[in-house]
Structure 1
Amino acid sequence: MSEREQPWSDDPVRQGRILVLTDNPIARSIAVIASTVGRTVVVEAADDGGPGLHPQSGDAVVLCDHDAPDAPAVLRAALASEASYVAMMASRRRAAGLLEDLVAEGVDVSTLHVPAGHDLGGKGPGEIALSVVAEIVAESYGRTGGPMRG
């Protein structure tokens, strides 16, 4: 009898935290999905950045509210940190003004994921969160997140 091959590893996954700014339906869905895949999630409920997210090496930072009063400061700090992934929930059009301001200040926004997530076509908070968590997981393994068939 041959041994069955399992498509997963039982080895513990050691990845950075997922830091999410502003408690809203997408943030809560990110927390559920990311927790399910074994990631530690910190949701900062205060839309002014609260006490601060303090990203560390390997962390992912997701700004779920581009209209948050402290959005520019959060992005500035995250992009200057050792976070491995920094993203903002916003359309390119809605993000344009904020990005222009950051670039004018000399902030390098080349690594900012905006809009956050993979293009899955989802519209609901859970579907959007799934696309963001999928992008974070793919990036953490150096993958693009495309189809496995090929």
Structure 2
Amino acid sequence: MLPVARAVVDVLSGRTGGPAALATVIGRSGSAPQVVGARLLLREDGVQVGTVGGGAIEEQVLDACRACLRDGSPRVVKAHLVRDLGMCCGGAMEVFVEYLAPEARLVLVGAGHVAQAVAPVAAGVGFRVVVVDDREDLLEHPAFAGAERHARDVDELELAVPDLGERDYVVILTRDHARDERALAHLVRRPHRYLGMIGSVRKVHAIVARVLRREQELGRPRPDLSRVRAPVGIALGGRTPAEIAISIVAELLADRHGGTGAAMNVVPQALARLGAAASTGVEGREGDARDDR
């Protein structure tokens, strides 16, 4: 079981770079080849760790693991080993297959007050936090105790995070506009899922214009800005570092889960339905029926 446990940790920490499917024997009867609790892990790259018994049952479980990797949905494999699979064992097995994905990585470029507020909130909702700043004293702040820290300036981002990928979230929070601009100009050319930059509307307009003009002057095609969010965060109205942090992490969560960030309030619709029911007398008739019972 230890190799499977280590493989699970490697997947969740992002060390293997992609998702995996984990199969666990949750039921057995008769002469089944494995005990309850036996596990098999199949990584996205095809690497398998562990076993649920081999033979036809394992091949069926591997098929379920491949399907799980395609759609991200859990499933249960149930099979009588003789009747369903033609195996010589006389028992039956039930195997639960679940999807495992690496923790999303959040790279904070800058370690100032807002980054210090963002880091613990992001870590609390499952982001693996990386902080990059050339000010080593700020990297020692307690807010970054559980984070990966790199003492690098924005011109050294490729050295600080050489493996930036399509699943990564990045937020630019440096101490001045010039650094924000250099960071944005570099990061729009690198893989990312989400790239945010703090600042006023005026600042964002100016920086984006300068970045695009410089790219044009260099004879390069316009970079893809479709995943750039600036000013970063959802419009909650707060201005303190803690309030800004909540706004930023809320937007990260909306992106991760496919949410819109809109309020979920349905009270106006409920009142409208009640008003319609009252005008037609439906509510009264329902009340009479309850009284009759």
Fold shared, TM-score > 0.5 on shorter chain: yes
Structure 2 residue 107 is the aligned partner of structure 1 residue 19:
yes
- Paired-residue identity, %: 29
Larger radius of gyration: 2
Q: Report the count of equivalent residues.
A: 140
CA RMSD, Structure 1 to Structure 2 (Å):
2.2
* Counterpart in the other structure of 2:176: 67
2:121 to 21, 30, 33: 33
Check whether the contact 1:99–1:109 (CA below 8 A) recurs between aligned residues.
no
* Counterpart in the other structure of 1:98: 207
* Counterpart in the other structure of 2:191: 82
1:97-133 alpha-carbon deviations (Å, 9 max, x no partner): 2111111123343432111000011111011011001
* Counterpart in the other structure of 1:129: 245
- Describe the SS at the equivalent of 1:127: helix
Higher helix share: 2
Tell me the TM-score normalized by structure 2.
0.44
Distance 1:39 1:124, change over 3 A: same
Distance 1:64 1:117, change over 3 A: same
* Counterpart in the other structure of 2:37: none
Quick one: which amino acid aligns to residue 91 of structure 1? Answer: S
Distance 1:70 1:94, change over 3 A: closer
Equivalences for 1:111-150 in 2 at 5 Å?
A: 111-150=227-266
* Counterpart in the other structure of 1:4: none
- Describe the SS at the equivalent of 1:94: helix
The structural deviation recorded for 1:37 is: 0.8
The structural deviation recorded for 1:146 is: 1.3
Distance 1:130 1:17, change over 3 A: same
In structure 2, C-alpha distance between the alignment counterparts of 1:25 and 1:111, rounded to whole Å: 25
In structure 1, C-alpha distance between the alignment counterparts of 2:228 and 2:175, rounded to whole Å: 13
- Unaligned 5+ segments in structure 1 are 1-10
In structure 2, C-alpha distance between the alignment counterparts of 1:39 and 1:49, rounded to whole Å: 22
Quick one: which amino acid aligns to residue 133 of structure 2? Answer: A
User: Bigger shift: 99-108 or 111-120?
Assistant: 99-108
Higher strand share: 2
The structural deviation recorded for 1:50 is: 6.2
In structure 2, C-alpha distance between the alignment counterparts of 1:110 and 1:66, rounded to whole Å: 25
- Describe the SS at the equivalent of 1:119: coil
User: Bigger shift: 19-28 or 75-84?
Assistant: 75-84
- Larger relative contact order, structure 1 or 2 (CA cutoff 8 Å, min sep 6): 1
In structure 1, C-alpha distance between the alignment counterparts of 2:259 and 2:175, rounded to whole Å: 26
In structure 1, C-alpha distance between the alignment counterparts of 2:251 and 2:230, rounded to whole Å: 12
